[in-house]
């Protein structure tokens, strides 16, 4: 079996039925992940708005979207990667590693830009290493990034004992997460703006450029893509690097939010991101997924978690909810695969 097949491990083959046909428009809309995710979000929002007067306030939505941004930004990168039939499990440890190092850099140099550049640079380095080990050594990205996850976590622990505190007290730093880019007519926090910008860029790239088209082809059928002159390695490397850079940016927003670089940050983050991307319509087998889908999935997850907090439920439920959502995502994916399989 090839490395690609390992990234999407053996599914027990089931007797396939003939593909369905002739569904109504409403059915078809709901059949697409974006469609039913949107429907679920509407339902959840209506429910939460009814149950809690705080939910639909400008402040709460702002908080909700900011938290969503932390995951979605990495998720956009991960979407590209999953389309390319690869995966990156190290993004969680990146939150800790980049967070710690970036905060240390900020403390050293007292310039916001330095922190951001460090985060991006670390992303480039880690992404390149991930790409190199996966492509050059031929080890599946699951294992490579699993190992990298350990390594980065270890590096984060080595770097500091518990957390790197904010010693620089930059005012611009505080604004990264809590400040607003726009105040009138509605308050839009910076993370939301950042997420929106990346949303537009990534969506356009995927849908309208040769890169995006090649990526979908590459993920669906790497052989065919290679034989059509597509530079498989080059594209995959870009995806790895972009994902790690996005993870770095997420990490930067995280330390702004927590006001410290914690070496135990990001535990389970990678699973939340991958779960969301899969829920949004991507598949481990590659070739599928959209930025909109990823965003909606993250929004749904975020809304549920937000609701849990608002309604006073035990916050520990968030783990279970994430797990259940992942299961639902994979379940839906398996159904989708079955219907698009050729008899």
Partner 1 sequence: MEAVTQNNDARSPLLEMRGIHKEFPGVIALDSVDFALLPGEVHALIGENGAGKSTMIKIISGLYHADRGEMLVDGEVVAFRGPGDAIARRIKVVYQELDLVPGLSVAENVFLGAYPKKGAGRVDWGALHRNTAQLLDELGLAIDPETPVGELRVAEQQLVEIARALSQHAQIVVMDEPTSALSTDEVNRLFTFIRRLQERGVGIIYVTHKLDEIYRIADRVTVVRDGKHVVTTEVAGTSPHDLVTWMVGRELKDLFPKSVVARGPVLLKATDVSGSGIDHFDLTVHAGEIVGLFGLLGAGINTVGRVLFGASERASGSVELDGQQIKPNSPSDAMAKGMGLLTENRKSDGLVLPMSVRDNMTLASLSQFANLSWLNSRKETKAASTFVDRLSVRTPSLRQRVQLLSGGNQQKVLMARWLMRDPKMLILAEPTRGIDVGSKAEIYRLMDEMAQRGLGLVFMSTEIPEILGIADRILVMREGRIVAEFDRGEATQAKLVEAAAVALETGVAA
Partner 2 sequence: MATVQHALPAEGTKRGWKRYAAIWARSEELSLLLILTIVIGFFLVVEPATRQRKIYWDLLWEQSPTLIAAVGITMLMLAAQFDLSIGSMLAFTGVATVTAMNRTDSMWLGIAVGLATGPLIGLINGFLVTYVGMQSLMTTLGMMFALRGLVYVYTNKTPVVDENQFTQFTRLWFGKVGPVRVPVILALVLIILAWYVLSQTEYGRNIYAIGGNQQAARVSGISVRGITFSLFIISSCCAAIAGLLVAAQTDTGYFDAGVQGFELTVIAAVVLGGVSMAGGQGNMVSVALAVVILGTIGKGMRLMGVNTTQQLLVVGIVMLAAVYYHRTRRRIAVRLRNEGY
Which residues of this chain interact with partner 1, rule CB under 8 A?
Answer: 15, 18-19, 21, 208-211, 213-214, 216-217, 220-221, 223-231, 287-288, 340, 342-343
User: What sections of 3-140 are H helices per DSSP?
Assistant: 3-7, 25-31, 33-51, 58-83, 91-109, 112-136
Smallest distance, Å, CB 168 to partner 2?
26
Q: What span, in angstroms and rounded, lies between the C-alpha atoms of 123 and 249?
A: 8
Q: Site size for partner 2, by CB under 8 A?
A: 56
Contacted by 217, from partner 1, partner 2, none: CB < 5 to 8 Å by type: partner 1
Pick one of 206, 215, 276, 278: the residue that binds partner 2 (CB under 8 A): 278
Smallest distance, Å, CB 341 to partner 1?
10
Taking the least distance from each CB to partner 2, the nearer of 250 and 272 is 272
Taking the least distance from each CB to partner 1, the nearer of 45 and 233 is 233
By CB under 8 A, is residue 125 in contact with partner 2?
Answer: no
Contacted by 322, from partner 2, partner 1, none: CB < 5 to 8 Å by type: partner 2
Contacted by 138, from partner 1, partner 2, none: CB < 5 to 8 Å by type: partner 2
What is the CB neighbour count within 10 angstroms for residue 155?
Answer: 15
- Cβ-proximal residues to 26 (8 Å cutoff; 6+ apart), any chain: none
Smallest distance, Å, CB 216 to partner 2?
20
Closest CA to 187 of 28, 292, 307, 60: 60
What the block records as the tokens of 227 is: 């034989």
Pick one of 41, 114, 147, 258: the residue that binds partner 2 (CB under 8 A): 147
Closest CA to 247 of 105, 318, 145, 107: 145
Closest CA to 87 of 32, 2, 149, 1: 149
Q: What span, in angstroms and rounded, lies between the C-alpha atoms of 45 and 303?
A: 8
Taking the least distance from each CB to partner 2, the nearer of 75 and 191 is 75
By CB under 8 A, is residue 339 in contact with partner 2?
Answer: no
CA atoms within 13 A of residue 318's CA, in its CB half-sphere: 19
- Determine contact, residues 180/188, Cβ cutoff 8 Å: yes
- Cβ-proximal residues to 281 (8 Å cutoff; 6+ apart), any chain: 32, 33, 34, 288, 289, 290, 293, 294, 297
Q: What span, in angstroms and rounded, lies between the C-alpha atoms of 342 and 165?
A: 56
Pick one of 95, 140, 166, 298: the residue that binds partner 2 (CB under 8 A): 140
Taking the least distance from each CB to partner 2, the nearer of 115 and 275 is 275
DSSP assigned state of 184: S
Pick one of 13, 183, 184, 342: the residue that binds partner 2 (CB under 8 A): 13
Site track 158-197 with partner 2 (rule: CB under 8 A), x = hit: x---------------------------------------
Positions in 307-326 near partner 2 (CB under 8 A) = 314, 316-326
By CB under 8 A, is residue 11 in contact with partner 2?
Answer: yes
Q: What span, in angstroms and rounded, lies between the C-alpha atoms of 78 and 273?
A: 8
Q: Given the rule CB under 8 A, which residues bind partner 2?
A: 1, 5-6, 8-14, 133, 137-140, 142-144, 146-151, 153-155, 157-158, 267-268, 271, 274-275, 278, 284, 314, 316-327, 329-331, 333-334, 337-338
């Amino acid at each position: 079996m090839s490395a690609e097949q390992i990234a999407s491990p053996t599914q027990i083959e089931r007797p396939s039925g003939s593909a369905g046909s002739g569904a109504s428009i409403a059915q078809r809309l709901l059949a697409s992940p974006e469609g039913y995710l949107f429907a679920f979000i509407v339902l959840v929002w209506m429910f939460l708005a009814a149950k809690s007067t705080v939910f639909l306030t400008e402040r709460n939505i702002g908080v909700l979207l900011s938290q969503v941004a932390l995951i979605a930004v990495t998720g956009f990168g991960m979407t590209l990667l999953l389309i390319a039939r690869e995966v990156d499990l190290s993004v969680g440890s990146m939150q800790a590693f980049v967070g710690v190092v970036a905060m240390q850099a900020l403390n050293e140099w007292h310039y916001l830009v330095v922190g951001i550049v460090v985060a991006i640079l670390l992303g480039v380095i880690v992404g390149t290493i991930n790409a190199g080990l996966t492509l050059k050594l031929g080890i599946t990205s699951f294992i490579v990034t699993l190992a990298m996850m350990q390594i980065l976590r270890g590096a984060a622990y080595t770097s500091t004992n518990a957390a790197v505190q904010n010693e620089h007290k930059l005012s611009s730093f505080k604004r990264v997460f809590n400040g607003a880019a726009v105040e009138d007519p509605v308050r839009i926090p910076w993370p939301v703006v950042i997420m929106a910008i990346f949303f537009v860029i990534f969506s356009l790239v995927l849908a309208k450029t040769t890169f995006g088209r090649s990526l979908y082809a590459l993920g669906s059928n790497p052989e065919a893509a290679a034989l059509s002159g597509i530079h498989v390695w080059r594209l995959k490397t870009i995806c790895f690097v972009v994902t790690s850079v996005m993870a770095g940016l997420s990490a930067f927003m995280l330390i702004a939010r927590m006001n410290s670089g914690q070496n135990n940050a990001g535990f389970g983050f990678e699973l939340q991101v991958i779960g969301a991307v899969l829920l949004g319509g991507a598949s481990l087998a590659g070739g599928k997924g959209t930025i909109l889908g990823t965003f909606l999935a993250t929004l749904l997850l975020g809304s549920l978690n937000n609701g849990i907090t608002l309604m006073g439920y035990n916050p520990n439920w968030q783990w279970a909810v994430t797990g259940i959502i992942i299961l639902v995502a994979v379940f839906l994916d398996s159904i989708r695969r079955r219907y698009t399989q050729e008899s």
